[in-house]
Amino acid sequence: MIERLHYVRRRLSSSLMNEVTRILTAIERGDAQAAAQLLPLVYDELRLLAAQKLANEKAGQTLDATALVHEAYLRLVPGPTMGWDNRGHFFAAAAEAMRRILIENARRKGRVRHGGEKHRVDLDNITVAAEMASDDLLDLDEVMTRFADLDPVRASLVKLRFFAGLTMPEAAAALGISLTTAERYWNFARTWLFAELTKNLEN
């Protein structure tokens, strides 16, 4: 029975890898609809990885977003030769999936919305959003939603950095922009987000 379960899981994993590869190939060929198909696959895989990690950790531990995203990539994308164009699409979907997972976890933990419980978020000292306290993470997500409506490209950069844990060069490559441009976008995004989070703090 156990061997049968392992066999089924291997078949499912192989099928999932093939589907991810098919979608990435379709994206590369210019299929505008293919990108939307990638998120559910990455989301499900990341949720599975997150559940496995949390099951083996003590209560109160946070998810290592960077490790989860990269493990999902290695499990779902076969071969080492995938270019940054396709990797960029994968990591963009993974960043959005990781954002949703972290927000779900934060909402499950609940939050207290009293002025005395709020404190200033230091964006400079946070590598990934998984390191943030639940209430701060929910505040950031609320502000990020507004920012994405205002400036989708810069918001994508923030998601890649905060929710997928990509370095600045990796995020720039994923977005197809220069490192200099990415750093300029990052400085603008950080200033805008800090201002909006400060407003939330004062309200």
- The residues near 86 (Cβ < 8 Å, ≥ 6 apart) are 24, 27, 28, 77
Q: State which amino acid sits at residue 101.
A: I
Residue by residue, DSSP assigns 67-100 as HHHHHHHHHHS-SS---HHHHHHHHHHHHHHHHH
The secondary element (H helix, E strand) that includes residue 12 is helix 2-28
Number of folded domains that form the chain: 1
Mean residue pLDDT of the chain comes to: 78
Q: Determine the Cα–Cα distance for residues 25 and 175; give it in Å rounded to an integer.
A: 17
Q: Determine the Cα–Cα distance for residues 81 and 99; give it in Å rounded to an integer.
A: 27
pTM: 0.76
Q: Determine the Cα–Cα distance for residues 158 and 176; give it in Å rounded to an integer.
A: 15
For residue 160, what are the domain limits?
2-202
Whole-number percent of the chain with pLDDT over 70: 73
Grade residue 123 by pLDDT with cuts at 50, 70 and 90. low
**Per-residue pLDDT tens for 3-61?**
443 333 444 467 878 888 888 888 888 887 888 889 998 998 899 888 887 777 655 55
Grade residue 73 by pLDDT with cuts at 50, 70 and 90. confident
Give the other-Cβ count within 10 Å of 169's Cβ. 11
